[in-house]
């Protein structure tokens, strides 16, 4: 069984109103992390940067403005399938990207064939792995408290 979906799209990195350049962006989705998509940006002269956020956020952002915190996604023309703005923020630093909606929709369609939206919880391994990892984090935190006290 296939366990991941990959795609590459070209996006415009909007540096300012006057300056933009196209960059390749890898889209990734893995069944073992069924709620998230990953976008890896390949900026010239820098190491690739990967952002992970909710698959539903990307899906919703194609049709309407959405997002909280560090990731905001909105269509450029909400009344039609158009380009999409993806704004990423860390502290005061922001980066704005523009992508065609069509390859994003095609990517999301492929993720839906792998793990249908709303069926993520059906993946027992994900729930089990989450419980194991959470247990490790909590045990480490308890150990650190004991060592500090």
What's the whole-model pTM score? 0.78
Residue 132 binned pLDDT confidence (cut-offs 50, 70, 90): low
- Asked if 102 and 50 sit in the same domain, the reply is yes
Secondary structure letter of residue 110 according to DSSP: H
pLDDT on residue 146: 77
Would you say residue 8 has pLDDT above 90? yes
Of 131 and 42, the structure prediction assigns the larger pLDDT to: 42
Residue 6 bridge partners (DSSP): 28
- Asked if 11 and 64 sit in the same domain, the reply is yes
- Asked if 146 and 93 sit in the same domain, the reply is no
- Range list of H helices, 34-76: 55-63
pLDDT on residue 123: 67
What is the residue range of 52's domain?
4-118
- Asked if 73 and 140 sit in the same domain, the reply is no
- Asked if 91 and 104 sit in the same domain, the reply is yes
- Asked if 92 and 141 sit in the same domain, the reply is no
What does the pLDDT look like over 41-96, one tens digit per residue? 998 888 999 999 999 999 999 999 999 889 999 999 888 888 999 999 988 889 99
Q: What is the CATH number of the domain that holds 15?
A: 2.30.31.20
- Asked if 127 and 72 sit in the same domain, the reply is no
- Asked if 42 and 99 sit in the same domain, the reply is yes
- Asked if 19 and 67 sit in the same domain, the reply is yes
Residue 109 binned pLDDT confidence (cut-offs 50, 70, 90): very high
Residue 149 binned pLDDT confidence (cut-offs 50, 70, 90): low
- Asked if 91 and 52 sit in the same domain, the reply is yes
pLDDT on residue 125: 56
| CB neighbour burial string for 4-27, b if at least 16 within 10 angstroms, e if fewer | ebebebebbbbeeeeeeeeeebeb
Sheet holding 20-30, edge to edge: 49-54, 36-41, 20-30, 4-14, 93-100, 83-90, 71-75
- Asked if 62 and 30 sit in the same domain, the reply is yes
- Asked if 148 and 99 sit in the same domain, the reply is no
Question: How many domains does one find in the chain?
Answer: 2
Residue 94 bridge partners (DSSP): 89
């Amino acid at each position: 069984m296939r366990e991941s979906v990959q795609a590459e799209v070209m996006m415009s990195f909007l540096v300012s109103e006057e300056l933009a350049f196209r960059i390749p962006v890898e889209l990734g989705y893995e069944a073992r992390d069924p709620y998230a998509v990953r976008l890896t940006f390949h900026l010239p002269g820098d190491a690739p940067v990967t952002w992970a956020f909710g698959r539903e956020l990307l899906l919703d952002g194609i049709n309407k403005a959405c997002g909280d915190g560090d990731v905001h996604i909105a269509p450029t023309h909400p009344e039609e399938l158009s380009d999409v703005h993806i704004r990423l923020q860390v502290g005061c630093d922001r980066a704005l990207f523009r992508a065609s909606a069509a390859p994003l929709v095609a990517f999301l369609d492929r993720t839906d064939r792998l793990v249908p939206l709303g069926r993520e919880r059906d993946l027992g391994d994900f729930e089990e792995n989450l419980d194991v990892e959470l247990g490790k984090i909590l045990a480490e935190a308890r150990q650190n408290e004991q060592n500090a006290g």
